[in-house]
Structure 1
């Protein structure tokens, strides 16, 4: 005997289908950082369902559909290739973000996946939480985010990576670009703005990016002009204003 649903029940069922949330998957070995990051992502992206996985085989679950982003953390280098292949095969529309302890020490084999465009973002643990969440937001929108230290390592091998990064900045939705100002920031300006948000001085920025301090000052002035701000504090505040958090948390005090 089959249950006959009323018109109202059908409407409610259809509403549930329409309200189905896309998923953000956190594939990580469980530790305090993974738990904190998962919680922060859940709070920031309430329109998505956040799924925590500890085993790569769970990516094969047939119920794990409509995945928008897969975040990887503490994945052994030996299993990394198979994990990446699984994601691309079973979740081809998902962006892939990699959380690392230090961008300067990313395993060579893993860096190769970045060079080939198979990973869409690398997020070092020393990023401020607001910067990290903004980078995740960019990945969700189909953009890319790579730290300057990693770009420097790959620059001699791949001239195309900076071009992909440049395209990702332009891919920001118009509403988000308006937060940056009337002009879209270049890749180099985005890199410098990331460092500014970490409180890095011009001299240190110059050293990290292999630039002269005068060149950095020119970039900083251009950033201020494009964002219509007067100083570093205003630049960071204006850039993250769309998060709606006047005092965003940080990884480190």
Structure 2
């Protein structure tokens, strides 16, 4: 298992890192780092776990993650290729005095938020994705200027979705191994009946200790976590297939239409039918 703290390597000629991560280097499990992160997915799809957020990711998706925010981009198929271009930078890589300049107030406002995750949408997401690709191949001052332009656009844009905020965890290596074990077990079994006793046994904890541990580190109950995995799976089937909605209900870990419909509305705020119609009308 990898440790929770990931060490980001920055070449000596640069002040921040920007590189392509492609399978097998794309597969970094639940981790965090002191650097902020700008990421554009370039290949593969799966589930993004960012703080207490669970949602799909696909090529073209762009995320901004503030420092020390734990995350994991987990592929939907283990044998698939995953890749992303990722920018890693410390908040003060240009110095605290630079962020204090009046011209930097937009960027300073964006970076002051702790443990926040943003998904960029619409034309802003497309523009930021294009600039991240440019940064990867740039040298010198232009590289810094383009990163600052990215951050300013994010700070000014309304085309963003805050997916998690104020997520605070300081789990160490041992706790991280347990978190990875729980998440791995959950992805393998979320479509089946879930037993707290069984998942707790996988961590050598009692049910009560397991529930406290999970809530402390993931900021939600284990059954809420399973619910979001199941509804995320249902959303993907609604978007990507023409399968009947009732069939999707039974193939998403539910054996009751009424329960499935209720849980779907809790997570997405709309009914399964409306979700499919919204997606297909853009």
**TM-score (norm: length of structure 1):** 0.30
Q: Which has the higher contact order (CA 8 A, sep 6+)?
A: 2
Bigger share in strand: 2
Bigger share in helix: 1
**TM-score (norm: length of structure 2):** 0.27
